[in-house]
Structure 1
Amino acid sequence: MESWQRAFVLHARPYSESSLLLDLFTENHGRVRLLAKGVRSRRSPLKGCLQPFIPLLVRWGGRGEIKILRSAEAISLGLPLVGSMLYSALYINELLSRVLEQEGDYQALFFDYLACLQALASEGGSPEQALRQFELALLTHLGYGLDFLHCAGSGQPIDDAMSYRYREEKGFIASLVIDHHSFTGRELRALAERQFPDQITLRAAKRFTRLALKPYLGNRPLKSRELFRQFVRKQPDSPIDEV
């Protein structure tokens, strides 16, 4: 890939004494794994720019599963993410690293990711609205299609006052059972519109996205969630308890 691509670093880890192994999220090629040779040396011009949340232009080459970074440059300064917004951004990076196939077609998701980062960088309160909207966008791009506005059992439009139980791969079925898998019609309408006007709909959205993402993530815990919990323990006034 010798043409320039817009990209963000999702994750970087040391590789040998002077190199990095990078997971990038690129505009036209989705998640790409690159070997960045010599970039940890003191003389490398790339030493400071291969960091998460810095918009990049990159070029790479090679035929194997791990490509070779040819060149990179920062388009602008890194997005101003601090506190809970920073940990929330680390969470969405880990999500993408875990669930996206390498070199898939995720161009539309790239812009959803950019919009989420920009929202987190500009938010002054809770990051939850931006996180839930991104998780729902991610599920859509993964091919997870659910009808939030009709009962999967009867096909009838949902009633805001009724309760519906989520069944994986089937949808929402009217039920009198109230448990962790149950959602009101009003909560489902909020999910369909990706707009959460209050804490009730926000909590319902978090509950749903946890259920829906679990098959993609498996049982291995997310490191970013543990980091967020550690942050919250030190910041008792944090607007949320975990991402």
Structure 2
Amino acid sequence: MEWTGEGLLIGVRRHGETSVIAEAMVVGRGRWLGLVRGGRSRKLTATLQPGNSVQLVWRARLEDHLGAFAVELLQARASALFADRNRLYLSQLLCDHLHLLPERDPHDRLLAHALRLLDGEIDAADVARFELMLLDELGFGLDLTHCAATGRTSNLTHVSPKSGRAVSQEAAEPYKDKLLPLPELLFGTAPADDEALRQAFALTGFFLDRHVWGARNIDPPPTRDALVDQLVQSA
């Protein structure tokens, strides 16, 4: 078995004395792992950094085997990430989020969004939208298209923490203390001020904790709170 593709490195761990197991999000193939023989060498260490884009050739005797990667650097981002704390935290957060996806299941929309975040200006609202998309790709998407109580498609201001469905301002009024605010910036229709950003990340964090972190008994990404604080302060 053999294939060739482009991927974003999202993790590397040691294997034996000289090799590593690399983890990448591959276009058309999803999250894929492979052994890189000699991956701890000086020649390959700089290439095998999370956040770099690489050309991969994967080979295995059988499709369900771990297989081995041959790796060629396409775009080096690691050095720039280490020079900018916010970009470094962003890269680590994106890699942690992508690691939640099932193996060998394509998620090209999410990968494209991650690459856009890594290569462009840091857009705090777009980071929150990435988390919203992540929930959707994991099968826990929120229904923000219409009000759960009235069916209205406009003036949606809150989300039910139980159902994950939007609620209009009028229907939410008697229950506001039990609902989660839904900032308009998640729809791309309002400026990303500090209050709206905190509401957006509180919303995505609530459902990530319920459906993913808590359900899998894992901790949230360690850089997430620090990155959110920095993004909100600079909004």
Shorter-chain TM-score category?
Answer: 0.7 to 0.9
User: How well do the aligned residues superpose, as a CA RMSD in angstroms?
Assistant: 2.8
What is the TM-score with the length of structure 2 in the denominator? 0.80
Give the Cα–Cα distance (whole angstroms) in 2 for the partners of residues 22 and 58 of structure 1: 11
Deviation at 1:32, TM superposition (A): 0.6
Q: 1:197 aligns with which of 192, 196, 202?
A: 192
Q: Which runs of 4+ in 1 moved over 4 A?
A: 237-241
Give the Cα–Cα distance (whole angstroms) in 2 for the partners of residues 133 and 57 of structure 1: 28
Alignment of 1:30-109 (within 5 A): 30-42=30-42, 45-62=43-60, 63=62, 65=64, 67-78=66-77, 80-81=80-81, 82-97=84-99, 99-109=100-110
Q: 1:171 aligns with which of 162, 165, 173?
A: 165
Give ranges in structure 2 of 5+ residues lacking alignment.
Answer: none
Asked whether the equivalents of residues 158 and 166 of structure 2 are also in contact (C-alpha less than 8 Å), the reply is yes
Q: Secondary structure at the match of 2:185?
A: helix
Alignment of 1:220-231 (within 5 A): 220-225=218-223, 229=226
Aligned partner letter, 1:53: G
Give ranges in structure 1 of 5+ residues lacking alignment.
Answer: none
Could you say if the C-alpha distance between residues 195 and 65 of structure 1 is closer, same or farther in structure 2, counting changes exceeding 3 Å? farther
Q: Does the alignment pair 1:182 with 2:180?
A: yes
Q: Give the fraction of aligned pairs with identical amino acids, expressed as a percent.
A: 24
What is the TM-score with the length of structure 1 in the denominator? 0.78
Could you say if the C-alpha distance between residues 107 and 149 of structure 1 is closer, same or farther in structure 2, counting changes exceeding 3 Å? closer
Q: Hey, what does 2:150 align to over in structure 1? A: 154
Could you say if the C-alpha distance between residues 66 and 3 of structure 1 is closer, same or farther in structure 2, counting changes exceeding 3 Å? closer
Deviation at 1:182, TM superposition (A): 2.5
Asked whether the equivalents of residues 30 and 107 of structure 1 are also in contact (C-alpha less than 8 Å), the reply is yes
Deviation at 1:180, TM superposition (A): 6.8
Give the Cα–Cα distance (whole angstroms) in 1 for the partners of residues 41 and 164 of structure 2: 53
Q: How many pairs does the alignment contain?
A: 222
Q: Hey, what does 1:24 align to over in structure 2? A: 24
Q: Deviations over 1:168-198 (max 9, x none)?
A: 44513433233474225xx2x4323376432
Give the Cα–Cα distance (whole angstroms) in 2 for the partners of residues 196 and 21 of structure 1: 42
Aligned partner letter, 2:88: L
Asked whether the equivalents of residues 196 and 202 of structure 1 are also in contact (C-alpha less than 8 Å), the reply is no
Higher mean C-alpha deviation, range 215-224 or range 190-199: 190-199
Q: Secondary structure at the match of 1:75?
A: strand
Could you say if the C-alpha distance between residues 180 and 38 of structure 1 is closer, same or farther in structure 2, counting changes exceeding 3 Å? farther
Give the Cα–Cα distance (whole angstroms) in 1 for the partners of residues 93 and 213 of structure 2: 13
Q: Deviations over 1:136-157 (max 9, x none)?
A: 2222333444332421022123
Greater helix share, 1 or 2?
2
